[in-house]
A and B are shown apart, each in its own frame.
Chain A
Amino acid sequence: MSDTPVDSAPAPATPAVELNGVWKIFNEGLPTEVIALQDVSVDVGYGEFIALIGPSGCGKSTLLRVIADLTHPTRGEATVAGLSAAAAREQQRYGMAFQQAALFDWRTVRRNVELPLELQGVPRAARARRAMELLTMVGLADFANHRPWELSGGMQQRVAIARALAVDPPLLLMDEPFGALDEMTRERMQNELLRIRGETGKSVVFVTHSIPEAVYLADRVVVMSARPGRITAVIPVDLPERGEQTREDERFFVAVTRVREALRSGEPTEVGRSRVGEV
Chain B
Amino acid sequence: MSPRLSLIWPPILVGCAALAIWQGVVVGFGIKPFLLPAPSLIATNVVDNAGVIREAAVYTATTALLGLLIGIIAAILAGLLASRFIVVKRLVTPLAAGLAAVPIIALTPIFNNMFDITSRTPRVLVTAIIVFFPVFENVTRGLTQVPTAQLELMRSLNAAPATIARLVRIPNALSFFLTGLKVAAPLAVIAALVAEYFGGPQQGLGARIASSAANTAYGRAWAYVVAAIIVGLFFYLMVLLLERLARPWTGRARAT
Residues of A within 8 A of B (CB): 65, 68, 70, 89-90, 92, 94, 96, 98-100, 102, 104-106, 115-116, 119, 147-149
Contact = CB atoms under 8 A, between A and B. Distances in A.
B248 interface: yes
Given A98-B149, A106-B171, A106-B251, A119 B156 contact: no
Contact of A119 (B158, B171, B174, B249): B158
15 contacts: A68-B156, A70-B155, A89-B155, A89-B156, A89-B158, A92-B158, A96-B153, A98-B153, A100-B147, A102-B152, A104-B150, A104-B167, A106-B172, A106-B249, A115-B157
Contacts of B150: 102, 104
Contact of B171 (A99, A104, A116, A148): A104
A121 to B, nearest CB: 12
A66 to B, nearest CB: 12
Given A89-B155, A105-B251, A106-B251, 17 more contacts: A65-B152, A70-B155, A89-B156, A89-B158, A92-B157, A98-B149, A98-B153, A100-B149, A105-B252, A106-B171, A106-B172, A106-B174, A106-B248, A115-B157, A115-B167, A148-B251, A149-B251
A99 B147 CA distance: 13
Contacts of B149: 98-100, 102
Contacts of B251: 105-106, 147-149
Among B157, B159, B163, B251: residue with most chain A CB under 10 A? B157
A68 B155 CA distance: 9
Contacts of B174: 106
Nearest to A175: B149
Interface majority SS on B: helix, strand, loop or mixed? helix
Contact of B250 (A92, A94, A96, A106): A106
A104 B249 CA distance: 9
Nearest to B159: A119
A90 B160 CA distance: 10
A254 B150 CA distance: 40
B58 interface: no
B96 interface: no
B168 interface: yes
Shortest beta-carbon contacts, A-B, top 5: A105-B251, A102-B149, A106-B249, A106-B171, A149-B251
A149 B249 CA distance: 10
Nearest to B174: A106
A89 B174 CA distance: 30
B249 A102 contact: no
Given A100-B147, A104-B168, A104-B171, A119 B157 contact: yes
A118 B230 CA distance: 47
A147 B248 contact: yes
Nearest to A148: B251
A263 B174 CA distance: 46
A152 B230 CA distance: 42
A96 B167 CA distance: 19
A148 B150 CA distance: 14
Contacts of A102: 147, 149-150, 152-153
A98 B149 CA distance: 7
Contacts of B252: 105, 149
Interface string B132-166: 00000000000000010110110111110001000
A105 B171 CA distance: 9
Contacts of A148: 251
Among B149, B155, B163: residue with most chain A CB under 10 A? B149
A98 B150 CA distance: 9
